[in-house]
Amino acid sequence: MNGDSRENTNLCFQRGKPAGEPNTSQVVKPAGEPNTSQVAALPVGLSHRSGKSFLVTRPPLYTAHNLHPAFSLRYDWTGWPTDGTSLPPATGAIALEAALSWEPDGLRLLEAHATADKIQLLFSALPQISPVFCCMRAKGRLQHALRKAGLPVAFSRKVSFRSLGENTTPDVEGYVRKQVSKEGFADPRFEKIMQDFTLRCPDVVLSEPFESHSGRYWYNLHVVLVVAGRFRITNPVKLGQIRDAALVTAGESGCRIAAVSVMPDHVHIALRGAIERSPEEIAVSFQNGLARAAGCRVWQDGYYAGTFSEYDLDVIRRITKRS
């Protein structure tokens, strides 16, 4: 095994050396993120009832209001005018002038590119923002700005939503799959055991969109959870339970995992998210599901959530420079 295999009887971990993973114990807000103090309240789910009986659920070990996430979330929204119509030449400029109108929604407009046939808006977003909410606000605020400018536009109901990041899908999936080899475990026997806790799911192709009645969505997330105190889980049974719980949690939350790696002191997940769920909802669901599998409140009070696609942000930058 890698070092002393004796385990703390309460946590089943041993303290380990940080391996360069993001520190989610502090809030990290990338440049260009919207102001959280301006975020409008979002609707929350209601309690479910069946006849006279309420649905009873286990209290969560983690809730969003007391977490300190790190995140890098970029969303590209594309809209088209209705058939037989075109966008005014000033559409892109009007969108940029209306940029502050998206701030209370947890969205910050970074780029706008418009032609007569379509408009693309690139946003940075807070982790509370789901793709469905982003698309609703992108279209609604833009229509209002155009109408206010005396240039009303009727947009098609079909939209395109794409998550973007500095890294591409092959980069992220490869990074997750190589966690064990890059860790440099001292004991080759333990390294071989750890290979069992990294999975690639070839049936999940993240370059393919999720299609709904409202459009096409590419919603890919990289989620990282870090063990509290950077203690190390070395029990293979426990590591296997966490790996299996990741797949179960994904299914319960409507997500599809493309790759997952459970390491002694952190977990990486590359997945396709459910479009009605925000990165925060998805990350917290994994925190709770995997903590229950571990048998205790194992994770730091935070997480990392980042977006990616088969295209990186340079694609948008090149389009903007040509416009």
What is the C-alpha separation between 225 and 283, in angstroms, rounded? 8
Q: Find out whether 275 and 219 touch, Cβ atoms under 8 Å.
A: yes
In a domain, 50, yes or no: no
Name the percent of the chain in helix, strand, coil, to the closest 5. 35, 30, 40
Verify that 173 and 262 share a domain, yes or no: yes
Verify that 25 and 106 share a domain, yes or no: no
Domain span at residue 173 reads: 13-33+64-70+165-308
Determine whether 220 is exposed, middle or buried from the number of CB atoms within 10 Å of its CB (0-12, 13-18, 19+).
Answer: buried
What is the C-alpha separation between 36 and 58, in angstroms, rounded? 29
Verify that 261 and 284 share a domain, yes or no: yes
Tokens of 277: 């769920």
Question: What pLDDT sits at residue 48?
Answer: 39
Domain CATH code at residue 129: 3.30.70.1290
Question: What pLDDT sits at residue 261?
Answer: 98
Verify that 169 and 129 share a domain, yes or no: no
Residue type, 266: H
Spatial CB neighbours of 142, under 8 Å, sequence gap ≥ 6: 79, 94, 95, 98, 119, 121, 155
Question: What pLDDT sits at residue 313?
Answer: 86
Within a 10 A sphere around the Cβ of 315, how many other Cβ atoms?
Answer: 15
pLDDT at residue 103 greater than cutoff 80 = yes
Q: What is the tens place of the pLDDT at every residue in 260-303?
A: 999 999 999 999 999 999 999 999 999 999 999 999 999 999 99
pTM above 0.85, yes or no: no
Q: What is the tens place of the pLDDT at every residue in 112-158?
A: 999 999 999 999 999 999 999 999 999 999 999 999 999 999 999 99
Question: What pLDDT sits at residue 213?
Answer: 87
Verify that 105 and 77 share a domain, yes or no: yes
Average pLDDT, the chain: 86
Least confident of 6-20, 65-79, 243-257, 280-294: 6-20
In a domain, 237, yes or no: yes
Q: What is the tens place of the pLDDT at every residue in 43-92?
A: 433 333 344 444 446 788 999 999 999 999 999 999 999 999 999 999 99
Verify that 136 and 269 share a domain, yes or no: no
Question: What is the secondary structure of 79-139 as a DSSP string?
Answer: EEEPTT----TTHHHHHHHTGGGGGGGTEEEEEEEE-SS-EEEEEEE-TT--HHHHHHHHH
Question: What pLDDT sits at residue 214?
Answer: 85
Count up the domains in the chain and report the number: 2
Verify that 157 and 181 share a domain, yes or no: no
